[in-house]
Structure 1
Amino acid sequence: MFYKQPQALNAEAHAGLGIKKIDQPFAFLREAHAVPITVTEFGMAAGSYPIIFVGDDRTPVAVMGVRQGQNLFVTDEGMVADEYYVPAFVRRYPFVFASDEKSDRLVLCVDREAPMVTNQPEIPFFENGQPSKFTNDAIEFCKEFERQRQATGEFVKLIRNADLFEQKTISFQPRDAEGNPSGDPQKIADYWAISEEKLNALPQDKYLELRNNGAIGAIYAHLLGLLNWQTVIQRALRAQPAAAPADA
């Protein structure tokens, strides 16, 4: 999504590289209208964005815009306002794990084209040929993200097995300068959500299975997050009131 030139990080190729402070640290997020999140983030993300499930894998994402290529929560200064949650998927950038097919393990990579990666670093990737504390912290962060990604897959499997997913569509009504309806309703997205009706109709043993697996809190966080659709739509209307959104 953000990565233009990911390279496996190693002391030989990247000995002089590191990170510098940049004026617009989240500028790379401007073109991402939906960002993957892990199940442990649902509670924090639900206070800021709609949480929906997309694709055949039912990947959970935080919706940050209604148009492809437009994030409504990144300011002109390349920041995300303090009151909005920044997903771990974003915070790990410019690092990412990639699979090494030869050794069947994960390798830490860095986006060589990331604006904060430089050969005149304030914080180096390596010191005396060894990973710096900063790099080791990045490795641990990416390891934890991978663990949470796997836990998210297990959560989605639980929801599938309980047959709780339902397809939904979100639309909005364009309005003129006086606030009157203008034209036909515009569809923003088709997506998957957890059905509260199906949840309430579950047999007790199925509900207890979800509870015992720690899924209930995440389910209700997701349902709460869906209330943020109106917030996103209003931000879109303020940003480009005359334009109709494309499908998410």
Structure 2
Amino acid sequence: METQLLFYKRAVPVSSEAHKDVSLRVAGKYSFAKEVNSVPLVAAEFRAAAPDSTIVFAGEGDEVMPVVILGLRDKENLYVDPDGSWNGRYIPAFMRRYPFVFASSEDGKNFTLFIDDEYDGVNKDGEGEKLFDSRGERTSYLGQVLDFMREYQSQFARTKAFCKRLHELGLLEPMHAQYTLPDGSPGRLAGFSAVNREKLKELSGETLEQMLKTDELELLFVHLQSLNNLQPLMEKVAATAPKAADKGKGANGAAKGKSARSETV
């Protein structure tokens, strides 16, 4: 994850002048993210995302942020089907806000709403939801978008504070996951961090009590539990490589290769 924009191609400020006749066709498709293997997650999403997703931390120092792993290889999103449908239980808010995004001023106090003009749902044919009415006023739809974006930005700021606390407590450590595909070829996922269980146990009772009261301790346990979802993700990788697996078949058609397996270090 190199930038907060990721799949945005040409984000421009939303205005009544430039977008008076613009409508947005929302089709519930996520093809725009098919080559993104992780996206940021805010702390408020941990419980919803954890049942079938792996939550880790990316970045260093004050730039650490939770992310959800969507694929194990570069330009791979295992949660997006060929038709653009999302096959997971939970869709991260980072994805649901697209094609909109907030840009902050240099002092971080003011925000401007942007839209990706190259999103294929943006049109002037009246298809979908209009952004402005005939008088140039915001439609109720655009108002809902702004409410969602403000809430997301608020949660994003709280999550940054949460991550800063984890960094100050020294709880995060680099990790990597190794896996083997059915044809025997190895794979490795790196560049992320997870909470060190032993360091968590070494925290003082006072610190643990504070984290319990602020729900931070629960978030850490949810994160640690979600690491178990790496194995199903490995199995998804194996399912997308049938041709490689077929290379190990004998005369009776049975696969000689091993099933996808993983080891998190």
* Structure 1: tracts of 5 or more residues without a match: 177-181, 244-248
Q: How far did 1:195 drift?
A: 1.2
Q: Distance in 2 between matches of 1:65 and 1:204?
A: 37
Q: How far did 1:115 drift?
A: 1.1
**Structure 1 moving runs of 4+ over 3 Å:** 100-104
Matched, 1:132 2:142: no
Note the 1:113-128 alignment, pairs <5 A. 113-121=118-126, 122-127=128-133, 128=135
Note the 1:40-55 alignment, pairs <5 A. 40-55=44-59
The AA in structure 2 aligned to 1:171 is: Q
Q: How far did 1:213 drift?
A: 2.3
Secondary structure of 1:130's aligned partner: coil
Q: Sequence identity of aligned pairs in percent?
A: 29
Is the 1:158–1:210 contact (alpha carbons within 8 Å) kept by the matching residues of 2?
no
Deviations 1:174-195 (A, max 9, x none): 333xxxxx25x43222321011
Residue 169 of structure 1 is matched in structure 2 by 176
Secondary structure of 1:148's aligned partner: helix
Matched, 1:239 2:249: no
Residue 167 of structure 2 is matched in structure 1 by 160
Cα 1:236–1:221 change in 2 (3 A) is same
Is the 1:170–1:190 contact (alpha carbons within 8 Å) kept by the matching residues of 2?
no
The AA in structure 2 aligned to 1:215 is: E
Cα 1:102–1:132 change in 2 (3 A) is farther
Secondary structure of 2:80's aligned partner: coil
Residue 146 of structure 1 is matched in structure 2 by 153
Q: Distance in 2 between matches of 1:175 and 1:48?
A: 22
Residue 6 of structure 1 is matched in structure 2 by 11
Is the 1:168–1:191 contact (alpha carbons within 8 Å) kept by the matching residues of 2?
yes
Q: How far did 1:230 drift?
A: 0.6
Matched, 1:62 2:63: no
Q: How far did 1:102 drift?
A: 9.4
Is the 1:54–1:61 contact (alpha carbons within 8 Å) kept by the matching residues of 2?
yes
Deviations 1:59-90 (A, max 9, x none): 21100101111101111221112x52100000
Is the 2:29–2:86 contact (alpha carbons within 8 Å) kept by the matching residues of 1?
no
TM-score (norm 2): 0.84
- Give the CA RMSD over aligned residues: 2.0
* Structure 2: tracts of 5 or more residues without a match: 1-5, 246-265
The AA in structure 2 aligned to 1:74 is: V
Q: How far did 1:135 drift?
A: 0.5
Q: How far did 1:100 drift?
A: 3.7
Higher relative contact order at CA 8 Å, sep ≥6: structure 1 or structure 2? 1
Q: Distance in 2 between matches of 1:93 and 1:103?
A: 21
The AA in structure 1 aligned to 2:69 is: V
